[in-house]
């Protein structure tokens, strides 16, 4: 496992996203549940994966509870990142949300507390005062944000009066904007971009096709529409070719492409131990500069069908800063 610096802690370049835990939209309760979560988390720790991402929003708090149950006595081996929801961003709201998360996590401290999504109706000064209270009380070690643009990330740092060590954003081969907008700052200021949906919700593993697309939370993701699955084939072919050269899978190359940069942590979700193992192993795939560029060019050539705009996409655009 490769490790990177996140503020004053060493964390694995590949973490584990746990939106899947407790979320029926990801099939929780149908083929995977608490026992699989326990096996996934234990195997992750065995493999040196120590960054676990959750949120009070996931499964209405269930994800945090499942993570606690799954870690058991191994809590101290893990670095836990959770998030406060956008409707809890007043000073008092942040404090109270953290108390509830701590209870569900069975923890004395949150290693990284992230603002899940900005809320333009609540001043950042109030939110960051809440974060400062938690840090001063020893309940939160480091502060992060999520779905913030560069300007808002820096404004959060000014409001906090210290480093907001990470910004968790959608970052994958089909959503490369953070490479240009956030990574230059992360490199210059020793911050980290936490890449969510690093496999584009499973799409970049190459296992889905026009006759086999997933439902649930992904039913509204227009990238899974048959026309887009067809348009993705050339990129998947390049991923397969690069993967073959490394004795790997296409999804592993998609993850290796992200963590090629030492200021990126990728947090793929996993529904089985096999998926977790494949994802963790991607940290050790060293792409050459030429391979990295070949994959980037193939990704850039992908053009999603313009007329497929789902309600999900519209909501996402609305909440994006
Ligand atoms: N901050 C935010 O606003 C935000 C938003 C979204 C997500 N997140 C975080 O980011 C994490 C990851 O993002 P995500 O869950 O949206 O997408 P993702 O990690 O790109 O995709 C996860 C899904 O891909 C499939 N998969 C994973 N590894 C695989 C493998 N090795 N082989 C084959 N299939 C594999 C699994 O689903 P199937 O087997 O069903 O295909 C899995 O549930 C979340 O768990 C959450 O912690 C944060």
List, as one string, the DSSP characters of 136-178. Answer: HTTSEEEEEEES--HHHHHHHHHHHTS---EEEEE-BTTB-HH
Per-residue pLDDT tens digits of the chain, which is 321 residues long: 999 999 889 999 999 999 999 999 999 999 899 999 999 999 999 999 999 999 999 999 999 999 999 999 999 999 999 999 999 999 999 999 999 999 999 999 999 999 999 999 999 999 999 999 999 999 999 999 999 999 999 999 999 999 999 999 999 999 999 999 999 999 999 999 999 999 999 999 999 988 888 989 998 899 999 999 999 999 999 999 999 999 999 999 999 999 999 999 999 999 999 999 999 999 999 999 999 999 999 999 999 997 655 555 555 555 544
Token reading at 261: 């940069």
Token reading at 72: 């058991």
Eight-class DSSP state of 63:
H
Ligand 1 center to residue 164 CA distance, Å? 24
Which structural domains are found in the chain, ordered by start?
3-202+249-286 (3.20.20.100)
Pocket test for ligand 1, best of 16, 17, 171, 272 (most atoms within 8 A of CB): 17
pLDDT in tens, 216-234: 999 889 999 999 999 999 9
Ligand 1: nearest atom to the Cα of 208: 41
pLDDT in tens, 249-290: 999 999 999 999 999 999 999 999 999 999 999 999 999 999
List all residues whose CB is within 6 A of at least one atom of ligand 1. Answer: 17-20, 26, 53, 116, 146-147, 168, 196-202, 205, 207, 214, 251, 267-271, 275, 278-279
Other C-beta atoms lying within 10 Å of the C-beta of residue 317: 9
Whether 41 and 70 have beta carbons less than 8 Å apart is answered as: yes
Ligand 1 center to residue 20 CA distance, Å? 7
Pocket test for ligand 1, best of 268, 277, 283, 317 (most atoms within 8 A of CB): 268
Other C-beta atoms lying within 10 Å of the C-beta of residue 54: 29
Q: Which residues are known to be catalytic? A: 58
């Amino acid at each position: 496992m490769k490790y990177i610096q996140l503020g004053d802690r060493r964390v694995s370049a590949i973490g584990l996203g746990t939106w899947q835990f407790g979320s029926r939209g990801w099939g929780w309760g149908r083929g995977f549940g608490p026992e699989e979560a326990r096996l996934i988390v234990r195997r992750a720790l065995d493999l040196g994966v120590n960054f676990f991402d959750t949120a009070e929003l996931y499964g209405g708090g269930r994800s945090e509870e499942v993570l606690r149950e799954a870690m058991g006595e191994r809590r101290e081996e893990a670095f836990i990142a959770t998030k406060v929801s956008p409707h809890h961003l007043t000073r008092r709201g942040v404090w109270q949300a953290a108390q509830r998360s701590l209870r569900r996590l069975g923890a004395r401290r949150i290693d990284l507390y992230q603002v899940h999504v900005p809320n333009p109706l609540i001043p950042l000064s109030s939110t960051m005062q809440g974060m400062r209270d938690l840090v001063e009380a020893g309940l939160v070690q480091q502060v992060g944000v999520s779905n913030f643009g560069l300007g808002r990330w820096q404004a959060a740092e000014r409001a906090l009066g210290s480093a907001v060590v990470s910004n968790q954003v959608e970052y994958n081969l089909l959503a490369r904007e953070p490479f240009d907008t956030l990574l230059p700052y992360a490199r210059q200021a020793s911050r980290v971009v936490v890449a969510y949906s690093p496999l584009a919700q499973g799409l970049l593993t190459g296992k889905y096709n026009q006759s086999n697309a997933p439902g649930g939370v992904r039913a509204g993701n227009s990238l899974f529409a048959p026309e887009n699955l067809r348009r993705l084939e050339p990129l998947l072919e390049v991923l397969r070719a690069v993967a073959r050269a490394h004795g790997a899978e296409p999804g592993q190359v998609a993850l290796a492409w992200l963590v090629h940069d030492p200021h990126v942590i990728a947090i793929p979700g996993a529904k089985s131990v096999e998926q977790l193992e494949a994802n963790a192993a991607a940290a050790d795939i060293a792409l050459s500069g030429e391979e990295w560029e070949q994959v980037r060019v193939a990704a850039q050539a992908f053009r999603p069908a313009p007329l497929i705009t789902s309600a999900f996409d519209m909501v996402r655009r609305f909440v994006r800063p």
